[in-house]
Amino acid sequence: MKVWQEVENPVTHATTHKEVALLTDQKCKLSYEKQTSTTPTGGPALIAQTTKLFIAPELDIPAGSKIIVTQHNKTTEYARSGEPAIYTDHQEVQLELFERYS
């Protein structure tokens, strides 16, 4: 997981924004759900996919984080969307495909 934050150069003391890794190599699982809806005009059905991340409950995933998941030899970048649902043994986080930092 990465975030865009201010970083101070220790030599020049100049502050710039950089992508900083907060967490790496965390075990997780992705769940996909397709949702189909029809239009009232009888046009083609709209299909949307919801992606949910299952991860350890003690991890803090800030809003706007870039979450990079490698599953089945495919790496995809996501952004956190919404507040996580936290349970005793895991948390569920809705994800969106990452476009850019807010």
pLDDT tens string 36-82? 666 667 677 777 778 999 999 999 988 888 999 998 899 999 988 77
Higher pLDDT, 18 or 101: 18
Contact 57, 86 (CB under 8 A): yes
- pLDDT value at residue 29: 93
pLDDT of amino acid 77: 92
Are 53 and 69 a contacting pair, CB within 8 Å? Answer: yes
Q: How far apart are CA 57 and CA 84, in angstroms?
A: 9
